[in-house]
Amino acid sequence: MSRIYLNPLKGRKYKAELSLGSGGSRRRKTKTFNEISQAKQWLHQMEIDYDRGTTFEMANWRFLDYYLHWVDLYKRPVVSPNTLETYLISYSHYERFFERVKMEDVTRNQIQAFLNQLGLSHETGRKDLQHIRACMRDAVSDGVLARNPADGTLQIIADPSRTKPDDKKFMPISSFKKIRDFLLSYHYFLADVNRLVLMIISQSGLRVGECLALKYEDIDFVHRTLRVDESWDSQHLVLKGTKTSHAERTIPLPNAVLNVLNRWIHYHRQVLFKSGIKNPDHFLLLNKYGILPNSKNINETYHQLQKRLGLPSKFSTHTLRHTLASLMVTSKDISIVYVSKYLGHASVMITQKYYIGLLPEQVDVEARKVLKVIAE
């Protein structure tokens, strides 16, 4: 049953009332409008939504409460601890803006206002928006909302001081080669595990966790390949699956790298045995303390190496992967499809989005080509 009547407490305003169910389960939804036509339109939409199975009870929940419910139901059972943490970090950002907002009252304008005032990096804003969209999308599928207020174009407004510029994501080719050559020619001892990690990443483009999870048997000296099928979580100290199923892959290794790894495995087995360090899982990169290195320590080792080689100490370990990937993408002899599979990306679009045309030298080369065309 539905009705519209003048609300004497609100002046000449119309109150629309929708009754759902009967008896003890009856629920009412009301809303006040300036015009009777608006009230009629709202009632009509509510009746349509009810027929479609919209769950109005959860629509009255606070967005924050529904979001945590959604994370517990759809994400916590299936995502890694690190990924789960990103959802909870997003929640801490939402708390500052959506404290009293109900699910049914969240609007596209509110979401854009949240992004405008977030004041963090572009990547953080992207993740927060991605999580809102996914939550609202499932709310629509579950009948909680009639439409997704996060659909459509929304702009991420980032704080430039918190957003890493491209010149920190991609190092000059000359700097990359200087680091690569040093690491390939270095003679590794047990205290040098962190540097060995850097060498492998510079020659394979592995993610740090993928590299740390490597075992002796993952190196195939006959076929000259490296197998990636696990990842090490340095924060939670657990071995887990790769980032996605596409990240499980087998990639070729240069002879120079195979020679270093062949020497390392023989040395590593012997020195661990003599030191009484057990390695039942055959981890390739177990250090002198009998544990796998921490990703933060590897990053610090990389900064120290940059200083030693007279380079600006502004690049993270992940720039090795970024730079190697860009070199591959810009090579005319390697297909973008193969590069995508080599890097373990879920799609070619990801490879194109992040790696095409961002190396400093490549930008200069393309700029000279443009000037030549203009001058002719």
User: CB of 224 within 8 A of CB of 253?
Assistant: yes
Q: What's the pLDDT band for 375 if we cut at 50, 70, 90?
A: low
What percentage of the chain exceeds 90 in pLDDT?
51
Confidence at residue 195, expressed as pLDDT on a 0 to 100 scale: 97
Confidence at residue 171, expressed as pLDDT on a 0 to 100 scale: 84
Confidence at residue 169, expressed as pLDDT on a 0 to 100 scale: 65
Residue 284 has pLDDT above 80, yes or no: yes
Confidence at residue 53, expressed as pLDDT on a 0 to 100 scale: 52
Confidence at residue 55, expressed as pLDDT on a 0 to 100 scale: 60
335 vs 212, more confident: 212
User: CB of 344 within 8 A of CB of 249?
Assistant: yes
**Measured between alpha carbons, how far is 31 from 18 in angstroms, rounded to an integer?**
9
Confidence at residue 250, expressed as pLDDT on a 0 to 100 scale: 94
Q: At what angle do helices 295-308 and 193-204 cross, to 10 degrees?
A: 80
pTM > 0.85: yes or no: no
Handedness of CA 231, 234, 239, 243 (dihedral sign): negative
Confidence at residue 329, expressed as pLDDT on a 0 to 100 scale: 82
24 vs 177, more confident: 177
Question: Which value, to the nearest 10 degrees, does the dihedral of the CA atoms of residues 157, 158, 160, 165 take?
Answer: -110
Handedness of CA 38, 40, 46, 49 (dihedral sign): negative
Nearest to 258 by CA among 335, 184, 347, 182: 184
| DSSP E strand boundaries for the chain | 2-7, 13-20, 27-33, 219-220, 225-228, 231-233, 238-240, 249-252
Confidence at residue 164, expressed as pLDDT on a 0 to 100 scale: 55
Residue 286 has pLDDT above 80, yes or no: yes
60 vs 216, more confident: 216
Q: What's the pLDDT band for 176 if we cut at 50, 70, 90?
A: very high
What percentage of the chain exceeds 70 in pLDDT?
85
Q: What is the mean pLDDT of residues 225-231?
A: 95
pLDDT tens per residue, range 29-87: 777 888 888 888 877 777 776 665 556 678 888 999 999 999 999 999 988 888 899 99
Mean pLDDT taken over the chain = 86
Confidence at residue 121, expressed as pLDDT on a 0 to 100 scale: 86
pLDDT tens per residue, range 335-370: 888 888 999 988 888 777 776 555 555 656 666 765
376 vs 89, more confident: 89
Confidence at residue 71, expressed as pLDDT on a 0 to 100 scale: 94
Confidence at residue 371, expressed as pLDDT on a 0 to 100 scale: 56
Residue 215 has pLDDT above 70, yes or no: yes
